[in-house]
A and B are shown apart, each in its own frame.
Chain A
Amino acid sequence: MSSAPVITQDEVSAVYSKVAKAIADALAREVDECQLKSRIIDDLGAESIDLLDIVFRLERAFKIKIPRNRIASDARGDLPEAEFERKGIITEAGRKRLQEYLSEVPPESFPATLRVDDIPRLFTVETFCKLVARALAEQAATT
Protein backbone atom coordinates (compact mmCIF):
# COMPACT_ATOMS: atom_id res chain seq x y z
CA MET A 1 0.00 0.00 0.00
CA SER A 2 0.99 3.64 -0.32
CA SER A 3 3.30 4.86 2.43
CA ALA A 4 1.56 8.21 2.84
CA PRO A 5 -0.98 9.02 5.56
CA VAL A 6 -4.50 9.91 4.47
CA ILE A 7 -5.07 13.66 4.45
CA THR A 8 -8.43 14.95 5.67
CA GLN A 9 -10.49 17.65 3.99
CA ASP A 10 -9.87 19.86 7.04
CA GLU A 11 -6.13 19.54 6.49
CA VAL A 12 -6.58 20.46 2.83
CA SER A 13 -8.71 23.47 3.76
CA ALA A 14 -6.17 24.64 6.30
CA VAL A 15 -3.48 25.11 3.65
CA TYR A 16 -5.60 25.89 0.59
CA SER A 17 -5.42 29.69 0.54
CA LYS A 18 -1.62 29.79 0.78
CA VAL A 19 -1.24 26.98 -1.76
CA ALA A 20 -3.64 28.68 -4.16
CA LYS A 21 -1.72 31.96 -3.84
CA ALA A 22 1.62 30.23 -4.52
CA ILE A 23 0.18 28.53 -7.60
CA ALA A 24 -1.52 31.72 -8.78
CA ASP A 25 1.71 33.70 -8.38
CA ALA A 26 3.74 31.04 -10.22
CA LEU A 27 1.28 30.88 -13.11
CA ALA A 28 0.40 34.60 -13.27
CA ARG A 29 -3.24 33.69 -12.58
CA GLU A 30 -5.86 35.09 -10.26
CA VAL A 31 -6.28 33.13 -7.02
CA ASP A 32 -9.96 32.60 -7.89
CA GLU A 33 -8.90 30.58 -10.91
CA CYS A 34 -7.01 28.13 -8.70
CA GLN A 35 -9.85 26.05 -7.35
CA LEU A 36 -9.19 22.72 -5.62
CA LYS A 37 -10.28 20.75 -8.69
CA SER A 38 -8.34 22.90 -11.17
CA ARG A 39 -5.84 20.82 -13.10
CA ILE A 40 -2.43 22.43 -12.93
CA ILE A 41 -1.46 21.69 -16.53
CA ASP A 42 -4.67 21.33 -18.51
CA ASP A 43 -6.72 24.03 -16.76
CA LEU A 44 -4.09 26.46 -15.49
CA GLY A 45 -1.54 26.10 -18.30
CA ALA A 46 1.48 25.09 -16.22
CA GLU A 47 4.66 23.92 -17.95
CA SER A 48 7.53 21.96 -16.41
CA ILE A 49 9.37 25.07 -15.20
CA ASP A 50 6.14 26.18 -13.51
CA LEU A 51 5.97 22.94 -11.51
CA LEU A 52 9.48 23.67 -10.20
CA ASP A 53 8.44 27.26 -9.44
CA ILE A 54 5.34 26.05 -7.57
CA VAL A 55 7.33 23.59 -5.46
CA PHE A 56 9.96 26.22 -4.57
CA ARG A 57 7.24 28.73 -3.62
CA LEU A 58 5.46 26.16 -1.45
CA GLU A 59 8.71 25.19 0.27
CA ARG A 60 9.36 28.83 1.15
CA ALA A 61 5.77 29.69 2.08
CA PHE A 62 5.39 26.73 4.45
CA LYS A 63 9.05 26.28 5.44
CA ILE A 64 9.03 22.66 4.34
CA LYS A 65 11.06 20.49 2.02
CA ILE A 66 9.31 18.68 -0.82
CA PRO A 67 11.60 16.04 -2.33
CA ARG A 68 11.34 15.88 -6.11
CA ASN A 69 9.24 12.98 -7.39
CA ARG A 70 7.64 12.80 -3.94
CA ILE A 71 4.22 12.03 -5.33
CA ALA A 72 5.33 9.06 -7.43
CA SER A 73 7.49 7.61 -4.66
CA ASP A 74 4.76 8.02 -2.00
CA ALA A 75 2.14 6.52 -4.31
CA ARG A 76 4.40 3.54 -5.02
CA GLY A 77 4.84 2.92 -1.30
CA ASP A 78 6.12 -0.61 -0.68
CA LEU A 79 5.56 -1.72 -4.28
CA PRO A 80 8.91 -2.45 -5.94
CA GLU A 81 9.76 0.05 -8.67
CA ALA A 82 9.78 -2.69 -11.33
CA GLU A 83 6.18 -3.49 -10.42
CA PHE A 84 5.16 0.17 -10.44
CA GLU A 85 6.38 1.08 -13.90
CA ARG A 86 8.02 -0.70 -16.80
CA LYS A 87 9.86 1.18 -19.56
CA GLY A 88 8.21 4.42 -18.52
CA ILE A 89 4.65 3.04 -18.51
CA ILE A 90 2.76 2.70 -15.23
CA THR A 91 1.65 -0.89 -14.60
CA GLU A 92 -1.86 -1.89 -13.56
CA ALA A 93 -0.65 -2.28 -9.98
CA GLY A 94 1.07 1.10 -10.15
CA ARG A 95 -2.05 2.69 -11.58
CA LYS A 96 -4.11 1.33 -8.66
CA ARG A 97 -1.63 2.81 -6.18
CA LEU A 98 -1.68 6.16 -7.97
CA GLN A 99 -5.48 6.27 -8.01
CA GLU A 100 -5.54 5.56 -4.26
CA TYR A 101 -2.93 8.24 -3.59
CA LEU A 102 -4.37 10.83 -5.96
CA SER A 103 -7.88 10.26 -4.59
CA GLU A 104 -8.80 13.83 -5.51
CA VAL A 105 -8.39 13.01 -9.22
CA PRO A 106 -11.48 11.45 -10.87
CA PRO A 107 -10.73 7.88 -12.06
CA GLU A 108 -11.82 8.80 -15.57
CA SER A 109 -8.93 11.30 -15.72
CA PHE A 110 -6.43 8.44 -15.73
CA PRO A 111 -5.70 7.57 -19.36
CA ALA A 112 -5.76 3.94 -20.49
CA THR A 113 -1.97 4.03 -20.92
CA LEU A 114 -0.33 6.24 -18.31
CA ARG A 115 3.29 7.18 -18.82
CA VAL A 116 5.48 8.20 -15.88
CA ASP A 117 6.12 11.54 -17.60
CA ASP A 118 2.37 12.18 -17.78
CA ILE A 119 1.74 11.82 -14.03
CA PRO A 120 2.00 15.62 -13.46
CA ARG A 121 -0.85 16.07 -15.94
CA LEU A 122 -3.13 14.52 -13.29
CA PHE A 123 -2.22 17.06 -10.61
CA THR A 124 -4.80 19.47 -9.29
CA VAL A 125 -4.53 22.31 -6.80
CA GLU A 126 -5.81 19.83 -4.22
CA THR A 127 -2.90 17.52 -5.05
CA PHE A 128 -0.50 20.25 -3.92
CA CYS A 129 -2.60 20.98 -0.83
CA LYS A 130 -2.27 17.32 0.16
CA LEU A 131 1.47 17.38 -0.61
CA VAL A 132 1.93 20.37 1.69
CA ALA A 133 -0.30 18.90 4.41
CA ARG A 134 1.74 15.68 4.39
CA ALA A 135 5.02 17.57 4.59
CA LEU A 136 3.72 19.65 7.51
CA ALA A 137 2.47 16.54 9.32
CA GLU A 138 5.85 14.85 8.90
CA GLN A 139 7.66 17.94 10.09
CA ALA A 140 5.42 18.11 13.18
CA ALA A 141 6.04 14.42 13.88
CA THR A 142 9.83 14.88 13.87
CA THR A 143 9.96 18.01 16.06
Chain B
Amino acid sequence: MRFLFVESIGEFESGSRARGQVRIPAEAKFPPCIIAEAIGQLAGWIAMEHSQFKLRPVAGLVGECVISGSPEAGAVVELAVEMETCDDDAVAYSGSACIDGQPVVTLERCGAPMLALADFDDPDAMITRFALLRSGTAPVEFAATLHEAVDLQNIACNGGAGCSIITPADASFYADHFPRKPVFPATLLLDAEIRLAVLALKNRHGGRMPKVDGIRITDVKLRTFIGPGTAVTLRADPGDSDPSSESFALTASVDSRRIASAGLIFEWR
Protein backbone atom coordinates (compact mmCIF):
# COMPACT_ATOMS: atom_id res chain seq x y z
CA MET B 1 0.00 0.00 0.00
CA ARG B 2 1.50 3.23 -1.15
CA PHE B 3 1.03 6.69 0.29
CA LEU B 4 0.53 9.01 -2.67
CA PHE B 5 -3.05 10.25 -2.86
CA VAL B 6 -3.15 12.81 -5.65
CA GLU B 7 -4.01 11.10 -8.94
CA SER B 8 -4.08 14.10 -11.23
CA ILE B 9 -3.54 17.84 -11.10
CA GLY B 10 -5.65 20.05 -13.35
CA GLU B 11 -5.65 23.81 -12.75
CA PHE B 12 -2.25 24.90 -11.52
CA GLU B 13 -0.77 28.28 -10.73
CA SER B 14 2.81 28.12 -9.50
CA GLY B 15 3.17 28.95 -5.83
CA SER B 16 -0.47 29.94 -5.63
CA ARG B 17 -3.21 27.35 -6.18
CA ALA B 18 -4.09 24.04 -7.69
CA ARG B 19 -6.95 21.61 -8.20
CA GLY B 20 -6.53 17.87 -8.25
CA GLN B 21 -8.41 14.67 -8.04
CA VAL B 22 -8.32 11.27 -6.38
CA ARG B 23 -10.71 8.37 -6.91
CA ILE B 24 -11.29 6.12 -3.91
CA PRO B 25 -10.61 2.58 -5.14
CA ALA B 26 -13.45 0.06 -4.98
CA GLU B 27 -11.99 -2.05 -2.19
CA ALA B 28 -10.40 0.74 -0.16
CA LYS B 29 -11.65 2.23 3.04
CA PHE B 30 -10.35 5.74 3.45
CA PRO B 31 -10.60 7.38 6.82
CA PRO B 32 -11.15 11.14 6.49
CA CYS B 33 -7.59 11.78 7.72
CA ILE B 34 -6.32 10.27 4.48
CA ILE B 35 -8.44 12.74 2.53
CA ALA B 36 -6.80 15.48 4.59
CA GLU B 37 -3.46 13.92 3.64
CA ALA B 38 -4.45 14.19 -0.03
CA ILE B 39 -5.15 17.93 0.37
CA GLY B 40 -1.78 18.35 2.07
CA GLN B 41 -0.04 16.41 -0.69
CA LEU B 42 -1.57 18.71 -3.31
CA ALA B 43 -0.19 21.67 -1.36
CA GLY B 44 3.13 19.84 -1.28
CA TRP B 45 3.19 19.61 -5.08
CA ILE B 46 2.54 23.36 -5.37
CA ALA B 47 5.39 24.09 -2.96
CA MET B 48 7.84 21.65 -4.54
CA GLU B 49 7.22 22.96 -8.05
CA HIS B 50 7.60 26.56 -6.85
CA SER B 51 11.01 25.73 -5.40
CA GLN B 52 12.07 23.95 -8.61
CA PHE B 53 11.96 20.70 -6.65
CA LYS B 54 14.75 21.76 -4.29
CA LEU B 55 12.52 21.94 -1.21
CA ARG B 56 9.42 20.27 0.15
CA PRO B 57 7.06 21.13 3.02
CA VAL B 58 6.83 18.67 5.89
CA ALA B 59 3.67 18.79 7.95
CA GLY B 60 3.70 20.93 11.05
CA LEU B 61 0.55 22.92 11.69
CA VAL B 62 -3.17 22.70 10.96
CA GLY B 63 -5.35 25.49 12.30
CA GLU B 64 -8.59 23.61 11.71
CA CYS B 65 -9.69 20.47 9.94
CA VAL B 66 -13.43 20.02 9.51
CA ILE B 67 -14.65 16.54 8.67
CA SER B 68 -18.19 16.60 7.39
CA GLY B 69 -18.38 13.41 5.38
CA SER B 70 -16.84 10.03 4.88
CA PRO B 71 -15.94 9.16 1.29
CA GLU B 72 -17.26 5.89 -0.01
CA ALA B 73 -15.47 3.46 -2.25
CA GLY B 74 -15.59 4.57 -5.87
CA ALA B 75 -16.12 8.25 -5.05
CA VAL B 76 -14.22 10.87 -7.01
CA VAL B 77 -12.77 13.43 -4.63
CA GLU B 78 -12.03 16.91 -5.99
CA LEU B 79 -9.12 18.54 -4.19
CA ALA B 80 -8.41 22.28 -4.10
CA VAL B 81 -5.62 24.22 -2.40
CA GLU B 82 -4.94 27.95 -2.06
CA MET B 83 -1.50 28.99 -0.83
CA GLU B 84 -1.35 31.94 1.55
CA THR B 85 2.45 31.88 1.68
CA CYS B 86 4.86 29.90 -0.46
CA ASP B 87 8.53 30.71 -0.05
CA ASP B 88 11.79 28.90 0.62
CA ASP B 89 11.28 28.91 4.38
CA ALA B 90 7.66 27.94 4.87
CA VAL B 91 4.25 27.49 3.33
CA ALA B 92 0.81 28.40 4.62
CA TYR B 93 -2.33 27.17 2.88
CA SER B 94 -5.96 26.17 3.08
CA GLY B 95 -7.72 23.46 1.10
CA SER B 96 -10.75 21.33 0.60
CA ALA B 97 -11.90 17.95 -0.62
CA CYS B 98 -15.35 17.71 -2.17
CA ILE B 99 -17.51 14.92 -3.55
CA ASP B 100 -20.24 15.97 -5.96
CA GLY B 101 -19.62 19.56 -4.93
CA GLN B 102 -20.10 18.86 -1.22
CA PRO B 103 -17.13 19.34 1.12
CA VAL B 104 -16.09 16.23 3.02
CA VAL B 105 -12.88 17.64 4.51
CA THR B 106 -11.67 21.24 4.75
CA LEU B 107 -8.33 22.46 6.05
CA GLU B 108 -7.69 26.00 7.24
CA ARG B 109 -4.53 27.80 8.35
CA CYS B 110 -2.11 24.98 7.62
CA GLY B 111 1.60 25.66 7.85
CA ALA B 112 4.80 23.76 7.26
CA PRO B 113 8.51 24.48 7.17
CA MET B 114 10.28 23.86 3.88
CA LEU B 115 13.12 21.35 4.06
CA ALA B 116 15.59 20.00 1.51
CA LEU B 117 13.65 17.73 -0.85
CA ALA B 118 16.69 15.53 -1.46
CA ASP B 119 16.69 14.51 2.21
CA PHE B 120 13.30 12.87 1.68
CA ASP B 121 12.82 12.05 -2.00
CA ASP B 122 14.68 11.72 -5.28
CA PRO B 123 14.09 15.13 -6.89
CA ASP B 124 14.20 13.68 -10.42
CA ALA B 125 11.56 11.10 -9.49
CA MET B 126 9.36 13.87 -8.10
CA ILE B 127 9.79 15.93 -11.25
CA THR B 128 8.75 12.93 -13.34
CA ARG B 129 5.76 12.18 -11.15
CA PHE B 130 4.64 15.81 -11.23
CA ALA B 131 4.67 15.73 -15.02
CA LEU B 132 2.54 12.58 -14.95
CA LEU B 133 0.10 14.15 -12.49
CA ARG B 134 -0.27 17.22 -14.71
CA SER B 135 -0.88 15.00 -17.72
CA GLY B 136 -3.39 12.84 -15.84
CA THR B 137 -1.43 9.67 -16.53
CA ALA B 138 0.08 8.95 -13.10
CA PRO B 139 -0.35 5.27 -12.21
CA VAL B 140 -2.74 4.60 -9.35
CA GLU B 141 -0.79 2.53 -6.89
CA PHE B 142 -2.82 2.42 -3.72
CA ALA B 143 -5.54 -0.14 -3.38
CA ALA B 144 -5.38 -1.61 0.09
CA THR B 145 -7.36 -0.54 3.07
CA LEU B 146 -5.75 1.95 5.34
CA HIS B 147 -8.17 1.82 8.21
CA GLU B 148 -6.70 0.72 11.52
CA ALA B 149 -3.21 0.86 10.06
CA VAL B 150 -2.02 1.00 13.66
CA ASP B 151 -3.47 -1.03 16.54
CA LEU B 152 -4.46 0.84 19.67
CA GLN B 153 -2.93 -1.10 22.56
CA ASN B 154 -3.36 -0.99 26.34
CA ILE B 155 -6.52 1.07 26.04
CA ALA B 156 -7.76 2.56 29.30
CA CYS B 157 -10.88 4.72 29.59
CA ASN B 158 -11.45 6.79 32.70
CA GLY B 159 -13.17 10.07 31.87
CA GLY B 160 -10.79 10.39 28.97
CA ALA B 161 -8.83 7.61 27.31
CA GLY B 162 -5.24 6.57 26.87
CA CYS B 163 -3.45 3.94 24.85
CA SER B 164 -0.16 3.13 23.24
CA ILE B 165 0.74 2.45 19.65
CA ILE B 166 3.87 1.17 18.04
CA THR B 167 4.51 2.57 14.59
CA PRO B 168 5.17 -0.26 12.13
CA ALA B 169 8.83 -1.14 11.81
CA ASP B 170 8.31 -1.97 8.18
CA ALA B 171 5.26 -0.88 6.17
CA SER B 172 4.80 -0.26 2.46
CA PHE B 173 3.72 3.33 3.05
CA TYR B 174 7.26 4.21 4.12
CA ALA B 175 8.28 3.70 0.47
CA ASP B 176 6.51 6.99 -0.31
CA HIS B 177 6.68 8.63 3.12
CA PHE B 178 9.55 9.06 2.46
CA PRO B 179 11.89 7.06 0.24
CA ARG B 180 15.04 8.51 1.80
CA LYS B 181 13.72 9.04 5.33
CA PRO B 182 10.91 6.81 6.58
CA VAL B 183 8.52 8.87 8.69
CA PHE B 184 5.29 7.61 10.25
CA PRO B 185 2.62 9.77 8.58
CA ALA B 186 1.11 12.42 10.81
CA THR B 187 -2.33 11.72 9.35
CA LEU B 188 -2.15 8.10 10.53
CA LEU B 189 -1.18 9.36 13.99
CA LEU B 190 -4.19 11.67 13.87
CA ASP B 191 -6.40 8.78 12.74
CA ALA B 192 -5.28 6.76 15.77
CA GLU B 193 -6.00 9.74 18.05
CA ILE B 194 -9.49 10.13 16.58
CA ARG B 195 -10.23 6.43 17.12
CA LEU B 196 -9.10 6.79 20.72
CA ALA B 197 -11.29 9.87 21.20
CA VAL B 198 -14.26 7.92 19.77
CA LEU B 199 -13.69 5.26 22.44
CA ALA B 200 -13.53 7.97 25.10
CA LEU B 201 -16.75 9.53 23.81
CA LYS B 202 -18.56 6.18 23.79
CA ASN B 203 -17.35 5.50 27.30
CA ARG B 204 -18.73 8.85 28.46
CA HIS B 205 -22.12 7.92 26.96
CA GLY B 206 -22.52 4.55 28.65
CA GLY B 207 -20.99 2.58 25.81
CA ARG B 208 -23.28 4.10 23.16
CA MET B 209 -21.85 6.34 20.46
CA PRO B 210 -23.85 9.56 19.95
CA LYS B 211 -24.88 10.28 16.37
CA VAL B 212 -22.02 12.59 15.40
CA ASP B 213 -22.75 14.96 12.51
CA GLY B 214 -19.31 16.45 12.21
CA ILE B 215 -15.83 16.51 13.64
CA ARG B 216 -13.55 19.52 13.99
CA ILE B 217 -9.88 19.12 14.72
CA THR B 218 -8.14 22.29 15.86
CA ASP B 219 -4.59 23.55 16.52
CA VAL B 220 -2.81 20.47 15.24
CA LYS B 221 0.90 20.75 15.90
CA LEU B 222 3.57 18.17 15.11
CA ARG B 223 6.88 18.83 16.79
CA THR B 224 9.10 16.10 15.45
CA PHE B 225 9.26 13.20 13.04
CA ILE B 226 8.17 9.78 14.28
CA GLY B 227 10.26 6.97 12.89
CA PRO B 228 9.39 3.31 12.33
CA GLY B 229 9.10 1.05 15.37
CA THR B 230 8.47 3.90 17.81
CA ALA B 231 6.34 3.47 20.93
CA VAL B 232 3.94 6.41 21.22
CA THR B 233 1.59 7.15 24.11
CA LEU B 234 -1.74 8.70 23.10
CA ARG B 235 -4.25 10.52 25.27
CA ALA B 236 -7.70 11.94 24.63
CA ASP B 237 -8.69 14.04 27.65
CA PRO B 238 -12.15 15.61 27.94
CA GLY B 239 -12.53 19.35 27.53
CA ASP B 240 -15.60 21.53 27.26
CA SER B 241 -18.98 20.05 26.43
CA ASP B 242 -22.47 21.38 25.78
CA PRO B 243 -25.73 19.80 24.57
CA SER B 244 -24.49 19.68 20.98
CA SER B 245 -20.76 19.02 21.24
CA GLU B 246 -17.99 17.43 23.25
CA SER B 247 -14.32 18.25 22.99
CA PHE B 248 -11.14 16.41 23.76
CA ALA B 249 -7.50 17.45 24.05
CA LEU B 250 -5.36 15.01 22.07
CA THR B 251 -1.71 14.45 22.84
CA ALA B 252 0.99 12.10 21.64
CA SER B 253 4.20 11.54 23.58
CA VAL B 254 7.40 9.59 23.07
CA ASP B 255 9.46 8.89 26.20
CA SER B 256 7.43 11.48 28.13
CA ARG B 257 8.17 14.17 25.55
CA ARG B 258 5.05 15.61 23.91
CA ILE B 259 5.51 15.30 20.18
CA ALA B 260 2.07 16.20 18.88
CA SER B 261 -1.13 17.84 20.08
CA ALA B 262 -4.55 18.84 18.81
CA GLY B 263 -8.07 19.63 19.91
CA LEU B 264 -11.01 17.55 18.71
CA ILE B 265 -14.67 18.51 18.83
CA PHE B 266 -17.48 16.06 18.11
CA GLU B 267 -20.63 17.86 17.03
CA TRP B 268 -24.24 16.75 16.67
CA ARG B 269 -27.56 18.44 16.05
| A residues neighboring B (CB under 8 Å) | 25, 28, 47-50, 52-53, 56, 59-60, 67-69
Contacts and interface: CB of A to CB of B under 8 A. Distances in A.
A56 B92 contact: yes
Contacts of A50: 221
A52 B261 contact: no
B31 interface: no
A68 B223 contact: no
B222 interface: yes
B99 interface: no
B261 A49 contact: no
Contacts of B111: 52-53, 56
B113 interface: yes
B227 interface: no
B109 A60 contact: yes
B90 A49 contact: no
A113 to B, nearest CB: 25
Contacts of A28: 261
Contacts of A56: 61, 85, 90, 92, 109, 111
Interface residue SS majority, chain B: strand
Contacts of A67: 87
Contact of A49 (B92, B109, B222): B222
Contacts of B123: none
Contacts of B85: 56, 59
B89 interface: yes
Contacts of B109: 56, 60
**Of listed A25, A47, A60, A68, residue having the most chain B CB within 10 A:** A68
Nearest to B59: A49
Nearest to A65: B85
27 contacts: A25-B219, A47-B223, A48-B113, A49-B60, A49-B61, A49-B221, A49-B223, A50-B221, A52-B60, A52-B61, A52-B90, A52-B111, A53-B221, A56-B61, A56-B85, A56-B90, A56-B92, A56-B109, A56-B111, A59-B85, A60-B109, A67-B87, A68-B87, A68-B88, A68-B89, A68-B90, A69-B89
A50 B60 CA distance: 9
Given A25-B219, A53-B221, 19 more contacts: A28-B261, A48-B113, A49-B60, A49-B61, A49-B222, A49-B223, A52-B61, A52-B90, A53-B60, A53-B61, A53-B111, A56-B85, A56-B90, A56-B109, A68-B87, A68-B88, A68-B89, A68-B90, A69-B89
A52 B88 CA distance: 13
